[in-house]
Amino acid sequence: MNAIGVPYHLDEPIPGFDFGVRVDLEVIGELPPADFWQCMDVLDEEVAPAVCSHERPVLVISGLYDQPRRLGRAAASGTRRGHRVG
């Protein structure tokens, strides 16, 4: 299993977050002082290359990325940027 940790609850970082499993990569973005949705876009752009570059299956763990829609958006964003999915 390839596990990616994104230690956030929505747009709030959670330092020292216990993912409950070993993660292969931890993604921490530099969030702008912006509104919530702009921060989510930044996190999507940070997560996308990690999701696209890992062998399948990929497990993304976070207070935010428990939403399949956002994970799909992150993967699609990576594809648009030239990262190969799958």
Q: Any idea what the Cα angle at residue 61 is, between residues 49 and 59, rounded to 5°? A: 65
Q: Encode pLDDT of 34-43 as tens digits.
A: 888 888 888 8
The confidence score (pLDDT) of residue 55 equals: 74
What is the pTM (predicted TM-score) of this model? 0.70
Asked if 55 and 37 touch (Cβ cutoff 8 Å), the reply is: no
pLDDT reading at 86 higher than 60: no
Q: Encode pLDDT of 4-48 as tens digits.
A: 888 888 788 888 988 888 999 998 888 888 888 888 888 878 888
Question: For the chain, what is the mean pLDDT?
Answer: 76
